[in-house]
């Protein structure tokens, strides 16, 4: 999978994270405090998934965007924590729906604790996030987060409707990844502008930045399911195919491949089987499906970068631009 040349010199991810280190430490402290409960299983499952690793990209966007917008208060810490809790709740529910066994390089929570515990703790995290929204005491922030949570849930249902459907179109696929992934990125960036009381132009720029960044991130995520190793990916290779999901690499390969290749992929999507995984990977490679997906991700990342050129030129804006590069250059 070849990603096109970058349009500017990005910061290293560690340098980006270092800019928000103090804020992220505050987020981690709030996460720990907010997971405290007198129900031991809730704490166990919550801590297992929330503390299981990952780069905390979504809360990082909130923190960097708030600083880029000139915000000097403390509510961005709470907003970032809420975003992380909403994301974690979706992971818990997703893994149950998809029957996933691996997440971030370890056994998924549903594998360790069971489906019932995972669903109920996901509900706990959703409800905790709404309690924290009230603490922010900003009706617009509450509206953004409530709308985003509802959109994500609708996206989950849309994806479920597309399972084992080899006729899923690219437009259908794009609609799902906006709702399931990009919408939360968008909400995090928008909240930063709202907290900073920026004008509608800056708020619109942050909305579009989050949307484009989330799109790029998910496109690469779906490409990695056919190109990364299981160790790099942190989950089992081919999970999307096993679950009957027609993601963009498969959609394009069916469009560009021969009749025999298209029929093979259609059967695999219908059956949700991995028996022809090696052959399907070869088809994806030979049809240029990974390059097509990477080009779409590159275009989305470029749009994310371009749309925030209008905000003040600071190290935080550079960091947000660098996150767009990270989203498409990553291997896990």
* Residue 122 belongs to a domain: yes
Could you read off the pLDDT of 282-328 as tens digits, one per residue?
Answer: 999 999 999 999 999 999 999 999 999 999 999 999 999 999 999 99
Query: Over pLDDT 90: what percentage of the chain?
Result: 75
User: Higher confidence at residue 179 or residue 233?
Assistant: 179
* Residue 91 belongs to a domain: yes
* Residue 5 belongs to a domain: no
Could you read off the pLDDT of 225-241 as tens digits, one per residue?
Answer: 998 665 555 556 688 89
Q: Give the Cα separation of 268 and 80 in Å (integer).
A: 39
Q: Any idea what DSSP says for residue 180?
A: I
* Residue 212 belongs to a domain: yes
Under 8 Å CB-to-CB from 185, ≥6 apart: which residues? 58, 61, 210, 211, 213, 214, 217
Q: Give the Cα separation of 80 and 188 in Å (integer).
A: 7
* Residue 8 belongs to a domain: no
Q: Give the Cα separation of 96 and 33 in Å (integer).
A: 26
* Residue 144 belongs to a domain: yes
Give the per-residue pLDDT at 50: 79
Assign 3-class secondary structure to 237-298: CCHHHHCCCCCHHHHHHHHHCCHHHHHHHHHHHHHCCCCCHHHHHHHHHHCCHHHHHHHHHH
Q: Any idea what DSSP says for residue 2?
A: P
Bridge partners of 102? 107
Going by pLDDT thresholds of 50, 70 and 90, the confidence category of residue 3 is: low
* Residue 132 belongs to a domain: yes
Whether this model's pTM surpasses 0.85? yes
Going by pLDDT thresholds of 50, 70 and 90, the confidence category of residue 4 is: very low
Under 8 Å CB-to-CB from 35, ≥6 apart: which residues? 42, 43, 46, 47, 50, 128
Please state the domain count of the chain: 1
SS3 330: coil
Alpha helices in 103-166 (DSSP H): 109-113, 115-136, 139-162
- Residue that the structure tokens 């405290």 belong to: 36
* Residue 309 belongs to a domain: yes
Give the per-residue pLDDT at 298: 97
Give the per-residue pLDDT at 112: 86
Q: Are 221 and 201 in contact (CB under 8 A)?
A: no
CATH number of 73's domain: 1.10.600.10
Could you read off the pLDDT of 67-119 as tens digits, one per residue?
Answer: 999 999 999 999 999 999 999 999 999 888 878 887 767 888 888 898 898 99
Which residues span the domain enclosing 180? 13-329
């Amino acid at each position: 999978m070849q990603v096109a040349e970058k349009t500017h010199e990005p910061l290293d991810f560690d340098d980006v994270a270092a800019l928000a280190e103090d804020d992220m430490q505050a987020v981690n402290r709030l996460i720990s405090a907010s997971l405290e409960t007198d129900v031991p299983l809730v704490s166990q499952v919550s801590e297992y998934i929330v503390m299981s690793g990952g780069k905390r990209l979504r809360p990082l966007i909130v923190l960097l965007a708030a600083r880029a917008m000139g915000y000097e208060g403390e509510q961005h810490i709470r907003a970032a924590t809420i975003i992380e809790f909403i994301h974690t709740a979706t992971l818990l529910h997703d893994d149950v729906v998809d029957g996933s066994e691996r997440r971030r390089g370890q056994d998924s929570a549903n594998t360790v604790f069971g489906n019932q515990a995972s669903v109920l703790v996901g509900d706990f995290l959703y409800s905790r996030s709404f309690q924290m929204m009230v603490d922010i005491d900003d009706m617009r922030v509450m509206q953004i987060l409530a709308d985003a949570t509802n959109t994500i849930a609708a996206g989950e249902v849309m994806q479920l409707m597309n399972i084992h459907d080899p006729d899923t179109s690219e437009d259908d696929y794009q609609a799902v990844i906006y709702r399931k992934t990009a919408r939360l990125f968008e909400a995090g960036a928008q909240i930063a502008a709202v907290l900073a009381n920026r004008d509608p132009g800056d708020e619109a720029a942050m909305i579009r930045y989050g949307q484009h960044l989330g799109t790029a991130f998910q496109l690469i995520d779906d490409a990695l399911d056919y190109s990364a190793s299981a160790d790099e990916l942190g989950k089992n290779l081919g999970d999307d195919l096993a679950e009957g999901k027609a993601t963009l690499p498969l959609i394009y390969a069916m469009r560009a491949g021969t009749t025999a290749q298209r029929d093979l992929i259609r059967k695999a999507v219908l059956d949700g089987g991995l028996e022809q995984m090696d052959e399907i990977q070869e088809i994806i490679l030979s049809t240029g499906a990974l390059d097509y997906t990477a080009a779409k991700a590159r275009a989305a990342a470029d749009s994310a970068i371009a749309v925030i050129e209008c905000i003040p030129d600071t190290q935080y804006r550079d960091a947000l631009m660098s996150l767009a590069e990270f989203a498409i250059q990553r291997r896990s």
